[in-house]
């Protein structure tokens, strides 16, 4: 079985199944006790602090926003009773502009799914669609289930559209869904596929038939989990967090950015990742990608780059051209600019990116509790918009950002918030939903 790479935050406590919590990133500092609060920016606002009970805990995904300004997301933990896990199997939630939370669905960890870590998709009627990493068919994946694709009606009725079974169709879907004009869904699984178990890219039609478009086997990638992108020609783009050049941190590989054409033929760039490599091109791309009008692909890598922090390198932002050339636009510096970038959001004009880093920021917070940053598309002018702390604003963001029509940014943190009210007894808090105006 290939190594299934998970986000550092998942490895620090969100995952419940050891086989899906292998830590790829040497981030031992996740468990450090951090102190000393960072001054709060005037534009930063906490919308909600999770408590870990029926209201959910430790959100790890992006949010989506509707036309009325309501936010929707998932948590992999919390949800209360009726779940096979003591901490709950996760929820789907809605947060109003005033910060009121409504739980739209509580997963039970059985046939209905459990442990959602991806963001949601909303259709024109207000129905929500998403994936769960676990649950579904409990006869597979060690009794936890291999995950589901689900629909949640506006009235709160959940329908499972597909249950994964650990075989050729894949297991452990973590990526958000995307949809084409015909109503077909596309996504990935982090494992399964063939005997190697490197994961899949799949298509689910309106009749519920799943077709595997790609099975990863190591040298072509391993462990896709970020959001896919589909262009007007039907080409699909994404990343795998490992695989590619298997000599890079042998035998796992440092990840790839890939393109699948309409026939399923793959074109890719394999990251080299070696700290001694002269280009410092990055390693472990975990998030999804964006495309500009010229067809260039942009995304972050969790580690690698030109700067050495000692035990790790803090990550990059990269550009991949239609001609196959990879360029590092920005190498994080192990300091106040952040480290371990997650997610990337392109503004409507296509000239500016917004993102989050899992750690870094103010050095008073140990290795840092993360940042929100802004940077232009050429990799210049990086500006930290907010430094997280162990306090009420939250820390360790692992998702991406969403932007409303007025330019307000929204996101989540996996820890801190109201630590005293969090029912998860590790003292790190249950996470937050926040807003920030650049």
Number of domains present in the structure of the chain: 1
Over residues 394-427, the pLDDT tens digits come to 999 999 999 999 999 999 999 999 898 898 888 8
- CB-based contacts of 378, cutoff 8 Å, min separation 6: 329
What pTM, to 2 d.p., does this model score? 0.90
Cα–Cα distance measured from residue 130 to residue 227, given in angstroms and rounded to the nearest whole number: 12
DSSP state of 11: I
Report, as an integer, the average pLDDT of 134-151.
Answer: 91
Report which of residues 6 and 74 the model is more confident about: 74
Model pLDDT for residues 246-285, shown as the tens digit of each residue = 988 889 999 999 999 999 999 999 998 765 665 578 999 9
128 Rama class: left (phi>0) / alpha (psi -120 to 50) / beta: beta
3 domain-assigned: no
Q: 176: domain CATH number? A: 2.120.10.30
- Residue 281: domain span: 8-436
pLDDT tens profile 1-44: 333 333 333 333 333 333 333 333 333 333 233 333 333 444 99
Q: For position 366, what pLDDT does the model report? A: 80
Paired tokens of 222: 């391993």
pLDDT in the model for residue 66: 96
Give the pLDDT of residue 320: 96
Q: Does residue 298 lie within any of the structural domains?
A: yes
Please check whether residue 123 lies inside any domain of the structure.
Answer: yes
Q: What is the pLDDT of residue 279?
A: 53
Examine residue 313 and state whether it is found in any structural domain, yes or no: yes
With b meaning 16 or more CB within 10 Å and e meaning fewer, what string describes 371-406?
bbbbbebebeebebbbbbbbbebbbbbbbbbbbeee
Residue 203: inside a domain: yes
Confidence of residue 130 (pLDDT cuts 50, 70, 90): very high
State residue 367's pLDDT score.
85
Of 350 and 14, the one with more pLDDT: 350
Residue 2 falls within a domain, yes or no? no
pLDDT of 276: 60
What would the pLDDT profile of 182-236 be if each residue is shown by its tens digit?
999 999 999 999 999 999 999 999 999 999 999 999 999 999 999 999 999 999 9
Classify residue 247: in a domain, yes or no: yes
Give the range among 2-16, 51-65, 340-354 with minimum mean pLDDT: 2-16
Task: Please report whether residue 395 resides in a domain.
Answer: yes
Q: Mean pLDDT score of the chain, rounded to an integer? A: 87
């Amino acid at each position: 079985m290939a190594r299934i790479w998970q986000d550092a935050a998942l490895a620090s406590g969100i995952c419940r199944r050891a086989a899906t919590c292998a830590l790829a990133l040497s981030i031992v500092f996740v468990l450090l006790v951090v102190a000393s609060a960072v001054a709060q920016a005037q534009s930063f606002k906490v919308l909600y602090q999770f408590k870990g009970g029926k209201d959910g805990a430790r959100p790890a995904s992006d949010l989506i926003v509707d036309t009325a300004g309501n936010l929707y997301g998932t948590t992999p933990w919390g949800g209360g009773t009726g779940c096979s896990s003591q901490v709950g199997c996760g929820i789907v939630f809605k947060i109003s502009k005033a910060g009121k939370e409504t739980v739209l669905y509580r997963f039970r960890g059985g046939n209905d799914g459990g442990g959602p870590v991806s963001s949601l998709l909303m259709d024109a009627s207000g129905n929500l669609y998403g994936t769960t990493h676990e649950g579904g068919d409990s006869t597979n994946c060690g009794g936890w289930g291999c995950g589901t694709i689900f629909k949640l009606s506006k009235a709160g009725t959940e329908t499972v559209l597909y249950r994964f079974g650990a075989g050729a169709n894949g297991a452990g879907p973590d990526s958000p869904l995307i949809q084409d004009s015909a109503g077909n869904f596309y996504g990935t699984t982090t494992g399964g596929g063939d005997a190697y178990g490197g994961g899949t890219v799949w298509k689910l039609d309106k009749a519920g038939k799943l077709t595997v478009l790609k099975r990863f086997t190591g040298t072509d990638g391993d462990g896709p989990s970020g959001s896919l992108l589909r262009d007007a020609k039907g080409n699909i783009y994404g990343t795998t967090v490992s695989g590619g050049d298997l000599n890079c941190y042998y035998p796992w590989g440092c990840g790839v950015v890939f393109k699948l054409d309409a026939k399923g033929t793959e074109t890719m760039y394999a990251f080299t990742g070696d700290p001694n490599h002269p280009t410092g091109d990055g390693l472990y791309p975990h998030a999804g990608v964006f495309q500009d009008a010229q067809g260039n692909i942009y995304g972050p890598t969790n580690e690698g780059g030109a700067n050495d922090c000692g035990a790790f390198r803090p990550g990059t932002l990269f550009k991949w051209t239609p001609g196959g050339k990879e360029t590092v636009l920005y190498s994080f510096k192990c300091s106040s600019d952040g480290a371990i970038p997650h997610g990337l959001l392109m503004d409507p004009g296509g000239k500016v990116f917004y993102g989050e880093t899992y750690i870094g920021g103010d050095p008073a917070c140990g290795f840092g509790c993360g940042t929100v940053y802004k940077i232009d598309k050429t990799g210049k002018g990086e500006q930290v918009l907010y430094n997280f702390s162990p306090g009420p604003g939250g820390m360790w963001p692992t998702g991406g950002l969403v932007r409303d029509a007025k330019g307000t940014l929204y996101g989540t943190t996996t820890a801190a918030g109201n630590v005293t009210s969090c029912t998860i007894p590790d003292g790190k808090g249950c996470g937050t939903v926040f807003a920030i105006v650049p």
